[in-house]
Amino acid sequence: MQTAEDQFQFFEGVFFETLGRDVQVTEYRLLQGGSINVTVQVHTNEGKYFIKYNTRNQEGMFETEAKGLNLLREANVLRIPEVLNWGRRDGQDYLILENIEYAKPNFDYWEKLGQNLAKLHRHTNDSFGLHFDNYIGSLQQFNEPYTDWLSFFIEKRLNIQAGLAYYNDLISKDLYDKFQHFYKVLPTLLPSEAPSLIHGDLWSGNVITDDKGDPCLIDPAVYYGNREMEMAFTTLFGGFDNRFYEAYHESFPLQPRFDERIAIYNIYPLMVHVNIFGTSYLPPVLRTLNKYLN
């Protein structure tokens, strides 16, 4: 077990690797975060920083997160934390970001989030996917480029998660076969759109309020996808304020009957949760598959 002294030494080593000079750590505070990494706010004689770290040794996790954050920052439409460094020290992988101080949300917080997410989604690409793979939660997310969304959605999103769940005995052979039959009806259900740059893991826990009271996005699983995938994801786990959806639709209207497709897109994040946390997330997946197969 690491002592407090070990932690101080670890943080000071991280700062030396990042800034090239000795930085005195005065205190650190554990933050509420996900189940995968330890997240801390570190106070130093040069200011506060945000560090996440783990000992899981999942190759490239923080490097690809950093690349995803930088890709979103380059779009220059929403506040994204600045990446200062990533690396490995004392058997622990780490990512160090600028510290974002919390303030009370502005009166137009949700409208700004909707309008600016619409601007992000107007950033497009020649193909769906990305030039590097990354992670969603603790699972690898494979982003081999495809020229059509339907093939990408089936092969690189649904089938990988269904196959992983079947391999780990989380779903039956019968349910795995249902997925295979479901893929055959998808062409009649999903519309075509140009690829959009999406955050990729956009639920309420990955949107924070910055020091100016504006929305800030964290913990991305970036790729170019159908923007309906992102908008469906926002409805999971509590969803966003209605003002967000109204502002988004006013800025960049979705195709008709989007609400009927939400459950289809959300099979992917739900199956990610099945593979990370267990079968309690299966019932809505089953309901959606049965709806279109019965």
Going by C-alpha positions, the residue among 191, 205, 168 that lies closest to residue 257 is: 191
Nearest-angstrom CA–CA distance, 141 and 161 = 10
Amino acid residing at 160 = I
Binned at pLDDT 50, 70 and 90, residue 206 comes out as very high
Question: Residue 2: which pLDDT band, with cuts at 50, 70 and 90?
Answer: low
**More confident of the two residues 284 and 3:** 284
Between 242-251 and 109-121, two packed helices, what is the crossing angle to 10 degrees? 40
219 is catalytic: no
CA distance 204 to 235: 9
What residue type is assigned to position 226 of the chain?
N
Confidence of residue 199 (pLDDT cuts 50, 70, 90): very high
Is 235 in contact with 266 (CB distance < 8 Å)?
Answer: yes
Query: Which residue out of 90, 108, 148, 201 is catalytically annotated?
Result: 201
Is pLDDT above 80 for 3? no
Residue 273 has a pLDDT of 97
Q: What is the mean pLDDT of residues 53-68?
A: 87
**1 pLDDT more than 60:** no
pLDDT, residue 34, reads: 59
What's the chain's length in residues? 294
Residue range 210-223: mean pLDDT, rounded = 96
Average model confidence (pLDDT) for the chain? 94
Long-range contacts of 239-242 (CB under 8 A, 24+ apart): 239/204, 240/110, 240/113, 240/204, 240/207, 241/110
The tens digit of pLDDT for each residue in 69-89 reads 999 999 999 999 999 999 998
CA distance linking residue 271 with residue 189, whole number of Å: 20
Residue 123 phi/psi, 5-degree rounding, is -75, 120
What domains can be seen in the chain, in order of their start residue?
4-98 (3.30.200.20), 109-293 (3.90.1200.10)
Pinpoint the alpha helices (H) of the chain: 4-19, 61-75, 109-121, 149-152, 159-167, 173-185, 227-233, 242-251, 262-265, 267-277, 282-293
Task: Report, as an integer, the average pLDDT of 176-202.
Answer: 97
**What's the whole-number mean pLDDT along residues 190-204?**
96
Q: Can you give the pLDDT at residue 175? A: 97
Q: What global pTM score does this model have?
A: 0.94
Predicted confidence at residue 58, as pLDDT, reads 77
- Using CA atoms, how far apart are residues 56 and 37, in angstroms rounded to an integer? 9
pLDDT band at 35 (very low <50, low <70, confident <90, very high): low
- Residue % of the chain over a pLDDT of 70: 98
Distance separating alpha carbons of residues 191 and 65, to the nearest angstrom: 29
Of 268, 199, 257, 265, nearest to 229 by C-alpha is 265
Please tell me whether residue 119 adopts helix, strand or coil conformation: helix
Which pLDDT tens digit goes with each residue over 131-183?
999 999 999 999 999 999 999 999 999 999 999 999 999 999 999 999 999 99
pLDDT of residue 208: 94
Alpha-carbon torsion angle 273, 274, 275, 279, nearest 10: 150
- Long-range contacts (CB closer than 8 Å, 24 or more residues apart) made by 174-177: 175/286, 175/289
- For residue 30, name the pLDDT band (cuts at 50, 70, 90): confident
